[in-house]
Structure 1
Amino acid sequence: MKSWIRMAGVAMMLAASGMASAGAKVTYVDTEEMTDVPRFAVDRESMEIHFREHLQRLAEQLPAGQQLNVEFRDIDLAGDQFPRVAIQDVRVLKGRADWPRMDFHYSIEQDGKVIKSGDAKLADPNYLMSTNRYDNEMYSHEKQMLEDWFRKELLGKKR
């Protein structure tokens, strides 16, 4: 019984310390209607998870107690999607007019108050020519574009 109480106390302390650290809340407005996202629901959900986790990792760089809120309004993934078989599509990156684009609203909250907010329309027409630290990951070009925006807009740093 005592070990259960001790474990509950540790869990409460971890939860309390997590509340003090920076975090991110990411939402999506009608993903099915966005410009270019995966056509299968399970693939769209996977994409949403990738971007949510990526923004949560980026938000860890914010000062303690601040939260990043992002509401994606439109996403146009890098490349063009070509249906090949019934269960899997192929995304082809040509480097022409198929660059990644994102449209979202963001805010930074601290103690329940918005301290910064705005709308972002990101695009990277040179996505195949620039350095990308996420090359071996899904949605690497979009992740790099989000990181560049985060560093410049929210941290005031250059790449």
Structure 2
Amino acid sequence: MKKHIGLIITTGALLLMTSTALSTAFAAGSEVKWTEPEKYRDIRPGDENRKRFQERTFKELELYFAKLAARLPEKQQLKIEVTDVDLAGDVRFGSHRQIRIIKEIYAPRMTFSYQLFSADETLLSSGEVDLKDMSFMRGSRLKHRSESFNYEKNMLDDWFEETFSPVVAAATQGE
């Protein structure tokens, strides 16, 4: 039987997402903090308002961290502090506007620290992460191809799988 569980994402204020059908064993939450975003390498819009683009980017990535965290065991909390973002591609001036050019030399990067807490707030794991996906345009990485920030999401998928697959596997065996 499936339960409807809401995930909570915090970025200063709490934001309650719509209920999502998740099994009881997968009801973890996430919290994302964006530290000094004005110093990030590249979070520039192409032909969009800079502030709205940054807000949209943060919201989209927060929701994606929440989606990943939902795979963790019940009541665990994944806290992320992002210290740098360099989106795939590079913003260049076209004829009369700015556009984001995607080429292999403009790989996505993200730097953050994470902490994973148990339901009783015991620290289970933590680390400093410096991601860079130099092969982001190669292979059959089609999972997020129709979504915004698909290259960044693929990179986060790889990190999450490498970092938390034993935790997720243990939770599924315990069902």
What range describes the TM-score normalised by the shorter chain of this pair? 0.7 to 0.9
Report 1:58-137 matches (<5 A).
Answer: 58-84=68-94, 89-96=98-105, 98-110=106-118, 111-132=120-141, 133-137=143-147
Q: TM-score, normalised by structure 1?
A: 0.80
User: Does 2:162 align with 1:152?
Assistant: yes
Q: Which residue of 2 aligns with 1:21?
A: 27
5+ long unaligned stretches in structure 1: 1-13
* 2:61 partner SS: helix
| Whole-Å separation in 2 of the counterparts to 1:32 and 1:85 | 27
Name segments (4+ residues, structure 1) moved above 3 Å.
83-86
Which of the numbers 133, 149, 152 marks the counterpart of 1:139? Answer: 149
Q: Which structure's residues are more often helix, by fraction?
A: 1
**CA shift for structure 1 position 21:** 2.5
| Whole-Å separation in 2 of the counterparts to 1:55 and 1:79 | 21
* Identity value in percent: 29
| Whole-Å separation in 1 of the counterparts to 2:94 and 2:54 | 17
Contact 2:29 2:70 in 1 (8 A): yes
Aligned residues: 138
5+ long unaligned stretches in structure 2: 1-18, 169-175
| Whole-Å separation in 1 of the counterparts to 2:98 and 2:33 | 25
Contact 2:27 2:71 in 1 (8 A): no
- Higher-Rg member (1/2): 1
| Whole-Å separation in 1 of the counterparts to 2:57 and 2:95 | 20
